[in-house]
Chain A
Amino acid sequence: MKNNKTLKYAIIKTLPILTGFLFMGISYGIYATSKGLPFYIPILTSIFMEAGSMEFVGVNLLTSAFNPLNCIFITLMVNARHIFYGLTMLNIYTKENLGEKHYRFHKLHLIFGLCDETFSINYQNTVKEGIDKSKFIKYVSTLNHIYWITGCTIGALFGSFIKFNTLGIDFVMTALFVVIFINQFKESKSKYPGFIGIIVTVACLLIFPKDYFLIPSFIIIIVILVIFKNKLRKGETE
């Protein structure tokens, strides 16, 4: 059955994320409860936010004085990069890719689940032969969300019982991004954009406070990409 083959393929593709999310989620659950938050808080954030780094920052917000404006501002700062994920996914979340059936619902659900890791798999507009693209995109998004909820729940409920040393396990995300970067390097006509991304971000990390360096990074990267458009683009777009 095509469905099973696609689901199996989606599970294989998301295995690194399963590992990363299980341990990041468990860390987050332990961290949140260690700060005095009740067990259901990390479970709720994992279901309704699905935004790893922002959920960690959220622990600080939730253990300080109630300040809704601060919540809005900080969430915007930390999650601003998702605006640019949406830009790429404009092409992917289409009726052609997702199918007519319940299109609006699926599109909203996929937008909701657009975290770094789901973006890192679904940003490509092609899948292996024999794979149902529409189902694959949805499976990946849903599986990642399930992994995340599972990790956070385990951490919130059982964190104190986990014995072995998991230090460094979150490197799995860095490794995943390195692999994808290498793929992008191989497939891109111009090799520069990737290195522009690295160099600009490093520069911004050195210049700006650590909490706020991503937005300037994105802005400068986009400005440079646009200025050098003629040297960088693959070919005529129209």
Chain B
Amino acid sequence: MNTIEQLISIAIMALVTFFTRAFSFIIFPNSKKLPKIIIYLQEVLPYAIFGLLIVYCLKDVSIIEGSHGLPELIAIILVALIYIRFKNSLVAIFIGTISYMLLVQVIFK
């Protein structure tokens, strides 16, 4: 691709990305009178979405090969335990991340 084609491609990707984010606002322009089913989904969907996002972050982890997902499992349990015990999200996230980096760089190399 030459430069013009690259710039056009970026413009297309940017516009389509914006479109996906704006889609619900286009379909439901009046946020006051949403269908009951949408109001219900607004309640329960975020909780389900974060379950999906966790799996999405781990999509490249293999249980069969390599480290078998152990660094991820250990680090996630660590994050959960620290957060449940100390209720500090930053501490839980940073300790969990540093531990994960240690695990993949040193222990499960």
Contact = CB atoms under 8 A, between A and B. Distances in A.
Interface stretch (A2-10, A127-135, A178-186): A178-186
A49 interface: yes
Contacts of A234: 43
Contact of A233 (B14, B44, B100): B44
A201 B97 contact: no
Interface string B44-72: 11111111111111111000000000011
Contacts of B11: 48
B48 A196 contact: yes
SS class, residues of chain A in contact with chain B: helix
Given A45-B10, A179-B83, A82 B25 contact: no
A222 B93 contact: no
Which of A72, A112, A171, A229 has its CB near the most chain B CB atoms (within 10 A)?
A: A171
Interface in B1-52: 1, 3, 5-14, 16-18, 20-25, 28, 31, 34, 36-52
Interface residues of B, number: 69
Nearest to B1: A66
A48 B100 contact: no
Given A48-B14, A83-B23, A205-B59, A225 B41 contact: yes
A76 interface: yes
Contacts of B84: 182
Interface of B: 1, 3, 5-14, 16-18, 20-25, 28, 31, 34, 36-60, 71-72, 75-76, 79-80, 83-84, 89-90, 92-94, 96-97, 100-101, 103-105
Interface of A: 12, 15-16, 19, 37-38, 41, 44-45, 48-51, 54, 58, 61-66, 68, 71-72, 75-76, 79-91, 93-94, 107, 111-112, 114, 116, 120, 123, 165-169, 171-182, 184-185, 188, 190, 193-198, 200-202, 205, 210, 213-214, 217-218, 221-222, 225-226, 229, 232-234, 237-238
